Amino acid sequence: VTENRSDLEDLHLYATPREQRFRRFASLEFEGQLYMTPHDFIQAVTSDEPKRKQEFYSAKTARENELNQILMETPPVWKGSSKLFRNLNEKGVISYTEYLFLLCILTKPHAGFRIAFNMFDTDGNEMVDKKEFLVLQEIFRKKNEKREKRGDEEKRAMLRLQLYGYHTPTNSVLKTEGEDLVPRSYWDTLRRSTSQALFSDLAEHADDISSSLSDTTLLVHFFGKKGKAELNFEDFYRFMDNLQTEVLEIEFLSYSNGMNTISEEDFAHILLRYTNVENTSSYLENMRCSIPEEKGITFEEFRSFFQFLNNLEDFAIAMQMYNFASRSIGQDEFKRAVYVATGVKLSPHLVNTVFKIFDVDRDDQLSYKEFIGIMKDRLNRGFR
């Protein structure tokens, strides 16, 4: 990055919250474009701030031979595991659009994995190749152009270079006239795009997209060092499941100190992170009084709760069908609604702990609306 420090700091004013977070945690720069390492990504989804002292404008500049050497460390997809990102550590590069894709994965139920795969599999042959996957880059890039903050065009162009590797916006393939202006999530953009002629239009430009982008860890992992391999659903599913498990393991281990359980209070701390709850101390104090004897939360219980959170929309629908949306609910009703909506069985101790955290008036009832609102914030890690 050749611009002076004040210019780069000014760019932060033109960035969306997601872009700001990516820029804060990204530690690598190549040909003007910022990248995260796998270590950066893990930090970005599990920590409030980067552990390194330098700011976003101090990203290390890599040369092409250094980038190629980093990518040589990437294992093939069939060697993937729930320790992939930890094993790669600094030996990997993740672009901004891939960062958005990985965030999508973290918040989706397993049932959604097939939908995601089918969205990439544009020719319906049950395999995804590199060209089909690169359509993702364009969809997220087009989506982001609509969200750009207005202002200094030069600064916005500099920001695009950092995030996408290009100076000026490409000709939009998406329709613009009379388009729905309601802000939608990236996942919803992907899902809705399948009903448009978007994939086929962008697929025609896949060669141009591929030639203008540098290889990344995900591209090499999925499609090999030559980019000729194809990705099947089983490998894709395993990658998504492993990523969810890895992030949960990291969060759990950061509190367990080598033990098989974390305390109920630690569970509450993790649950209330990235939410808009201002006075978390009242929730924690309420839980301490309600659960005087610590029993602990196992990783299996911890993981099952976050699997439930990834199905939060289905749970909300089930609750509305039970007609509990306008009133509080008890533990038995809560457990049944979770199982009916998601197929996840939460242990009695885990459900009791959740109730003790959120049952502020201690009537053993849970405020449905308040709980759903707080959990939506937690699910999206502060970027609802």
**44-75 pLDDT tens trace:** 998 888 876 555 456 788 788 888 899 999 99
Dig out the tokens for 271 from the structure.
Answer: 């649950």
Which one, of 260, 285, 283, 255, lies nearest residue 270 by Cα?
Answer: 255
Instruction: Report d(CA 383, CA 11) in Å as an integer.
Output: 20
**Is 50 exceeded by the pLDDT of residue 380?**
yes
0.85 exceeded by pTM: no
Beta carbons of 136 and 144 less than 8 angstroms apart: no
pLDDT given for residue 2 in this prediction: 44
Mean pLDDT throughout 13-38? Answer: 89
Q: Highest mean pLDDT: which of 54-63, 149-158, 200-209?
A: 149-158
Mean pLDDT throughout 128-148? Answer: 76
Dig out the tokens for 152 from the structure.
Answer: 């200094």
**Is 50 exceeded by the pLDDT of residue 308?**
yes
pLDDT given for residue 347 in this prediction: 94
Mean pLDDT of the chain: 79
Q: pLDDT per residue over 348-379, tens digit each?
A: 999 999 988 887 777 787 777 778 878 887 77
Q: Highest mean pLDDT: which of 126-130, 136-140, 207-211?
A: 126-130
Q: Highest mean pLDDT: which of 247-251, 272-276, 281-285, 311-315?
A: 247-251
pLDDT given for residue 369 in this prediction: 73
pLDDT given for residue 272 in this prediction: 85
**Residue spans per domain, the chain:** 3-244, 257-379
Q: Residues 6 or more apart from 360 whose CB is under 8 A from it?
A: 282, 283, 286
pLDDT given for residue 236 in this prediction: 93
The larger pLDDT score, comparing residue 277 to residue 240, is at 240
pLDDT given for residue 284 in this prediction: 81
pLDDT given for residue 157 in this prediction: 81
The larger pLDDT score, comparing residue 70 to residue 206, is at 70
**Is 50 exceeded by the pLDDT of residue 195?**
no
**Is 60 exceeded by the pLDDT of residue 227?**
yes
Beta carbons of 303 and 336 less than 8 angstroms apart: no
Beta carbons of 136 and 120 less than 8 angstroms apart: yes
Q: pLDDT per residue over 38-50, tens digit each?
A: 999 999 998 888 8
